[in-house]
Amino acid sequence: MRHDEFVDFEPYRGELVAFCYRMLGSFHEAEDLVQETMLRAWKARDRYDPARASVRTWLYRIATNACLTALDGRARRPLPSGLGAPSDDPGAPLAPALDVPWLEPFPDARFDVEKRADLRLAWVAAVQVLPARQRAVLVLREVLAFSAAEVAEQLDTTVAAVNSTLQRARSALSGVGDAATVTEPDDPEVRTVIQQYVQAFEAADVPALVRLLADDAVLEMPPVSLWFRGSGHYGRFMDRVFGMRGTGWSVQVLTANGQPALAAYAPEPGGGHRLHTLQLFTVTGGRITHNVVFADRRVLDAFQLPQRISADEFRSGR
């Protein structure tokens, strides 16, 4: 490619961020690596050969190598449920484990990403257990549908090695389930469940919240390492939350990782509400089976939500 030829890399940014997020489990790091990928591609544009690969395939090669370098020697990003047994004490201290590189959510509204099933938080958490090259092969082949030959070119390996690596990755994730069977957030049943949850949450109606839960529902709250299993523990913890922070919360419904989510705003003593947490739900069979509650300010900033809702905005329905 001649230096005077212009190639617009920007249309690929969203899907590249989603790819790097699946690899790294961090939205912030994914954004940084995609920016690095774009810069590398621009500097190397005179060496790009369209006869060998499309611009998209070429960008993915650069992004894949950037991800593999970033992951070298790095610990995986877990959720609390991936680190130990659940707590049976809803009154346990909520001490953040700031030394753990927690898995982060993906803000759907920031990018137009076509494939969201494999952005599900449980799937991304499971992928983090795989060695880095297995992650790359799995995502490139199974999610993005690159051919084995294309992936071999991207990873400087052979088609046989790609197929073998893919088989090992599939075997390791065999118990995760089929992402295609997960109910979408715009499914009418899911919308109804989430709307009922919002109404109960804003009313601080814990019994109504519990009625929306599966019996073995999971509640976890990174960066706090403890987590709870069971609707009873979930309800007792919510009693604690409303007892500590008061009632009269406000909620904004959104999506994250292709799943229903809500931004919870806690009431302030002087009026109005301040952003408190992002809650990301899994709904199965008309019941909430999982709620991951993110409280880290940097994570919340990625969603570009208003930090405060005034009393007037709250009364007018935001």
DSSP string, 41-75: HHHTGGG--TTT--HHHHHHHHHHHHHHHHHTTPP
- 216 lies in the same domain as 308: yes
Alpha-helical regions (H) of 72-184 = 121-127, 132-138, 148-155, 159-172
Structure tokens at 247: 């009632």
- 21 lies in the same domain as 168: yes
Is there a domain that residue 95 lies in?
no
304 backbone φψ class: left, alpha, beta (φ>0; ψ -120 to 50): left
C-alpha distances (whole Å) from 236 to each of 63, 93, 209, 232, 249 are: 45, 14, 11, 6, 18
- 225 lies in the same domain as 272: yes
- Expressed as residue numbers, the domain containing 306 is 188-315
Is there a domain that residue 81 lies in?
no
Scan for tokens 């346990």, then name that residue.
92
Total domains, the chain: 2
Is there a domain that residue 65 lies in?
yes
CATH number at residue 56: 1.20.140.160
- 306 lies in the same domain as 197: yes
- 25 lies in the same domain as 140: yes
- Write the burial class of residue 129 (CB in 10 Å: 0-12 exposed, 13-18 middle, 19+ buried): middle
Is there a domain that residue 94 lies in?
no
- 238 lies in the same domain as 148: no
Among 177, 206, 234, where does a domain finish? 177
The DSSP symbol for 271 reads S
- 194 lies in the same domain as 141: no
- 271 lies in the same domain as 144: no
Model confidence over 108-161: pLDDT tens digits?
999 877 666 688 999 999 999 999 999 999 999 999 999 999 999 999 999 999
- 39 lies in the same domain as 16: yes
Structure tokens at 117: 């099933």
Query: Could you tell me which residues come within 8 angstroms of residue 278 by beta carbon, excluding any fewer than 6 positions away?
Result: 105, 256, 261, 262, 263, 264, 293, 294, 299, 300, 303
Per-residue pLDDT for the chain (318 aa), expressed as one digit of tens each? Answer: 444 455 788 899 999 999 999 999 999 999 999 999 999 999 988 888 887 888 999 999 999 999 999 999 888 899 999 999 999 998 999 999 999 999 999 999 998 776 666 889 999 999 999 999 999 999 999 999 999 999 999 999 999 999 999 999 999 988 665 544 556 778 899 999 999 999 999 999 999 999 999 999 999 999 999 999 999 999 999 999 999 999 999 999 999 999 999 999 999 988 899 999 999 999 999 999 999 999 999 999 999 999 998 866 654 444
CATH number at residue 284: 3.10.450.50
308-309 and 227-229: which strand pairing?
A: unpaired
